[in-house]
Structure 1
């Protein structure tokens, strides 16, 4: 059928089909309102606990204000809790919204590109979105196919289907005998989003918009089955632990105090009810004190800090949780083209007979080619067939200008490549009148046409071809012949000239990126398995696997599978084989998603890389989806992180950041829980001893500010540690508070409590006016606490926690707490806390219930409490010596 005889749709049919089949637009995912996205931040289990604690704190404050007629300062505690909640949720919301805006800039979609269609017998230009079902679309080299369609004409038509199948080149034809039975999509169909690399044709549109294969994959990627991240699971456990412990101790306080009252005091209803109300107040206070207000904010700050810093390593993070989840990754499922490879065919070997002049080979490659090079950018890019383009790139690397060579020649005759012939030929003459015929094609065909093999046997050719094919490479053979005057080398669509000389063969492949092998080695050393999922052939995929180091000679056939074999496995068979699989070749769009889900069911934490529309379902299903910066908009929309520079090494950096981030969160929990244990024990001790808390509400607010906000910022800003890449991935079932952390928290918290309780007892039974008097004053009966003694106790409490912050920073790093390289933020915040405490004590007066201290007092407190750090340093030195 010829395009000039095709009339196409009428204007009425266009409108009718648009109403019936819809517009040629892939419906974007619905954007949820900002208020809904903000409210989702309150689903965090620790935020929920904080909300409950805040409500209880409001109740206590209201009773104290209106029932006990205390000052307005009683409302500082609930205000502090709700401020912490809003700060944590607000920061998370702000940073995700900012990342989305950056992502929108990166991910522009243009449905207004013009395409040529035939309507009412006339060629006309319409935008891509205006193409309708039944339209006749004219296909030309370089265009992106606007919709799915069946070919009516196809002339030397080759289409890049990598966005849908991962396969960079698919030959298209309308001749049924030449159909590829192994092709993912029929050989006479062109699919939306694929790109025409060479040739031209005409197609009738059979599907538009969401009904195209591209649209169906995008629809599958929209299904957002929320998968809990490892950090979500850890915080669920931590939240349950804190809640159970707090309520258990609160109940114990109520029961214990009631028993104490009944056994020691004559029962009287009014007195008992007042005592019971006070007991409930103490129990609720303990619940409020035990909740780590700063933890959600610490996590948010750590994630946000990592998000901003990861952008400098070419990782654009769209979802905060993805920062940390990368650190828990145990398996990376990656595509091949564009991620592991350069997505540009290059000559890997050129084996030409020594008897062939180099100039003759160069002229033959330049003349006998339909490809072009775009030399306007920083590096040359291919226009046309990638395989032929690889030969031109080879010429460019040799310093030869193919355009000058072509301009110096006159084409006499040419024979385009077809799948039937498996070769192409061009006859040319130069300025001096010399006439040459150049042939290029399948090596076995070209060799068979040649009379002179230049001393090369067919066995040698076959051996070299087998070697290249086993490495997944494409091969081309070259031949040439000087033509006599008047000799016609081509007749009836084939070469009729005799006396061809076989020049040699070239092997062509899509080379791996220079940094990939080292990057894969790094993630393998970190205990992360890498699996390749590609639409390419098993031989090519296996060779790429060998080059990057995931395929070895000891691997059996069980480690590689084709898409058809993969689809044939039932769920039980898949679960038995999934962890042993290293490569899926000839994969189909939903194969990678099924692989991800099978790995997750085995307890793996899966990250997926991809740049094509076919990768979108798997990107969405994985715990972390990693799209490439030059990937399709569908892939990027489905991902959590976009690798801007397309480099696999950037993925390794994301893993390092994620693991370091988790360590920083653990350090903050270590620090925060130590403070909480001390505070809870003081409340608990006071409940059974009739002793009120020596820290006022405003003092506790400052302590919370130090221990929550400032400490969160200090520990969240710690830089990543490269040494984490030598560790195995953590077990996602392992509790976030590890055994060494438990020992530290209980040991340090218990020690602090014992020291503070003993110090408090001493202060209550002496009349201390200067710390230089310690050890020289007699111990009396309970004399209460003066303003000076309360100031000393408050400052001592703060500095014990201050020095412990350094211990938390150095926890399990194998380094000294005085290692400050790249820790400017931590040092600045430590100085801020130090200055802040001095200022509050010196000018806080009645608001903080303090009086100024002497210089000697400051020196004694700072030096004595610093023993916390020196003991920690001694223990760390001993551990390093033992290891």
Structure 2
């Protein structure tokens, strides 16, 4: 009853509980790991610019990026939607192009390639690749110049990396774009990852996704409740650090996916607890981070909405997703937020702690009462020539005692019980049960003494009297 009432209260706050036991885990959560996009940021991607390798605005980069996004048939994502919308506004379309093949995106390669044929190009194909900067650059041997491709030497690679870092530190989410022309004699019916070589680096795609206005306050509110907020994202370290710093998190405390991949689990156990920002991580690394935090004794919540969040959602003590998440993320979650807002989660944490506190009250009361009755019965049975209570009376006593206990779900909870995470403490429950259970037994023994020595009660009178005393006390 207490858990059901808590779930109803949380639903009124915009938090849907899919598994009732998650309420207790939400109340005990002391670390929240969250994705960046759509939770800390608005989640509304806008294409702010397409630039060439020199950083100048480029219509060619816009056209190639539009074709890549328009012909992609993989999972829908806001970046492609922003590209298609911007291209449509610019008057671009797919006329004159036909799709030959697609090398789909995956979380290890972090890039996607589309192979197209242009109607007037006599059987030649063009591979258009977009993705994470480092993963695209490693496939490129040249960059596009005014007079044709230019060899990508160390100096030019460093210049591209500097531009990427600069825009990332300004808060832009930056993708790289590359292409390759395959003449008719080298054209193929199907393409694979091995064909993503000798690409020409075309330029950059700049997307904006600003932090939410209320994100910084929501983070502070969660921290005030004793919940440490950690950001885990697949985005590059520069934009992740910009967003983290904007909302008041320690952007200097960061681990990248590359560093995590080189670590043993023992090292991650020690570093995860002290790290606030994890960037450029893959789905398996997200799960490793969650398990590392759990290994050091934390109750971990994970908030995510993508396919890449599913392993971490499963691993967390309480998996949290949003109503707009992909199906696999929602199915993996224990709790679903009706709005992608940390303030909604903050209210859910408070409701979870109220419910958890009242659940502890119920368990403490019932265990101590049952323990006291058990000891009283055990002591009375060898001393009396009859049973102290009939079987029907025991069952009725338990039933009637539970009726007022139902109202515990509506009980007020002290502010200090809401202010900090709560955990199951078997030692505290044991002490409560022993102390109050034995006090109950002491009064039962006094009642026995009065009934036998003062009133000289018969079997039926004794059973009725103790039933009444036990029920009232």
Fold conserved between structures, TM > 0.5: yes
SS of equivalent to 2:283: coil
Matched residues in 2 for 1:665 and 1:597: separation? 27
User: Relative contact order (alpha carbons < 8 A, sep ≥ 6): 1 or 2 greater?
Assistant: 2
Question: Which of the numbers 274, 277, 283 marks the counterpart of 1:589?
Answer: 283
Give runs of aligned pairs for residues 511-590 of structure 1, distance below 5 A.
Answer: 511-551=210-250, 556=252, 559-590=253-284
Residue 307, structure 1, aligned to residue 34, structure 2: no
Structure 1 residues 600 and 759: alpha-carbon distance in aligned structure 2, compared to 1, 3 A threshold: closer
Structure 1 residues 577 and 387: alpha-carbon distance in aligned structure 2, compared to 1, 3 A threshold: farther
Matched residues in 2 for 1:521 and 1:590: separation? 29
* Count of aligned pairs: 340
The answer to whether the Cα contact below 8 Å between 2:364 and 2:433 also exists between their aligned partners in 1 is yes
The structural deviation recorded for 1:789 is: 6.1
Question: Which of the numbers 357, 367, 378 marks the counterpart of 1:663?
Answer: 357
Structure 1 residues 695 and 600: alpha-carbon distance in aligned structure 2, compared to 1, 3 A threshold: same
The answer to whether the Cα contact below 8 Å between 2:300 and 2:316 also exists between their aligned partners in 1 is yes
SS of equivalent to 1:765: helix
The structural deviation recorded for 1:518 is: 2.4
Question: Which of the numbers 703, 715, 718 marks the counterpart of 2:408?
Answer: 715
In the alignment, which residue of structure 1 is the partner of 2:468? 795
Structure with bigger gyration radius? 1
Calculate the aligned-residue CA RMSD, in Å: 3.5
563-572 or 588-597, larger mean C-alpha shift: 563-572
Q: Which runs of 5+ in 2 are unaligned?
A: 49-65, 67-79, 91-127, 130-163, 175-205
Residue 705, structure 1, aligned to residue 393, structure 2: no
Superimposed CA distance per residue, residues 392-443 of structure 1 (whole angstroms, 9 cap, x where no aligned partner): 9xxxxxxxxxxxxxxxxxxxxxxxxx99xxxxxxxxxxxxxxxxxxxxxxxx
SS of equivalent to 1:596: helix
The structural deviation recorded for 1:608 is: 1.0
Residue 654, structure 1, aligned to residue 357, structure 2: no
SS of equivalent to 2:325: coil
The structural deviation recorded for 1:744 is: 4.5
Give runs of aligned pairs for residues 761-776 of structure 1, distance below 5 A.
Answer: 761-767=449-455
The structural deviation recorded for 1:667 is: 1.0
Structure 1 residues 635 and 474: alpha-carbon distance in aligned structure 2, compared to 1, 3 A threshold: closer
Structure 1 residues 731 and 307: alpha-carbon distance in aligned structure 2, compared to 1, 3 A threshold: closer
Question: Which of the numbers 31, 37, 43 marks the counterpart of 1:343?
Answer: 43
The structural deviation recorded for 1:680 is: 1.9
The structural deviation recorded for 1:683 is: 1.5
The structural deviation recorded for 1:315 is: 1.8
Give runs of aligned pairs for residues 474-489 of structure 1, distance below 5 A.
Answer: none
Structure 1 residues 666 and 630: alpha-carbon distance in aligned structure 2, compared to 1, 3 A threshold: same
Superimposed CA distance per residue, residues 741-796 of structure 1 (whole angstroms, 9 cap, x where no aligned partner): 555443433333323322332222344xxxxxxxxxxxxxxx33375665444322
The answer to whether the Cα contact below 8 Å between 1:682 and 1:693 also exists between their aligned partners in 2 is no
Superimposed CA distance per residue, residues 547-598 of structure 1 (whole angstroms, 9 cap, x where no aligned partner): 22222xxx64xx2122223222233332332212211222223221121122
Superimposed CA distance per residue, residues 310-354 of structure 1 (whole angstroms, 9 cap, x where no aligned partner): 222222222222111112222211111011111124799xxxxxx
TM-score, length-scaled by structure 2: 0.63
TM-score, length-scaled by structure 1: 0.35
Structure 1 residues 541 and 676: alpha-carbon distance in aligned structure 2, compared to 1, 3 A threshold: same
Matched residues in 2 for 1:637 and 1:472: separation? 32
In the alignment, which residue of structure 2 is the partner of 1:316? 16
The answer to whether the Cα contact below 8 Å between 1:316 and 1:641 also exists between their aligned partners in 2 is yes
SS of equivalent to 1:626: strand
The answer to whether the Cα contact below 8 Å between 1:530 and 1:582 also exists between their aligned partners in 2 is yes
SS of equivalent to 1:746: helix
In the alignment, which residue of structure 2 is the partner of 1:726? 419
Residue 695, structure 1, aligned to residue 416, structure 2: no
Matched residues in 1 for 2:270 and 2:436: separation? 47
Structure 1 residues 691 and 669: alpha-carbon distance in aligned structure 2, compared to 1, 3 A threshold: farther
Matched residues in 1 for 2:415 and 2:324: separation? 28
The answer to whether the Cα contact below 8 Å between 1:345 and 1:386 also exists between their aligned partners in 2 is no
Give runs of aligned pairs for residues 147-158 of structure 1, distance below 5 A.
Answer: none
Give runs of aligned pairs for residues 285-434 of structure 1, distance below 5 A.
Answer: 301-345=1-45, 384-385=82-83
The answer to whether the Cα contact below 8 Å between 1:339 and 1:628 also exists between their aligned partners in 2 is no
The answer to whether the Cα contact below 8 Å between 2:357 and 2:417 also exists between their aligned partners in 1 is no
Matched residues in 1 for 2:413 and 2:321: separation? 23
Matched residues in 2 for 1:720 and 1:318: separation? 24
The answer to whether the Cα contact below 8 Å between 1:538 and 1:585 also exists between their aligned partners in 2 is yes
Residue 605, structure 1, aligned to residue 304, structure 2: no
Question: Which of the numbers 684, 702, 706 marks the counterpart of 2:378?
Answer: 684
The structural deviation recorded for 1:474 is: 6.9
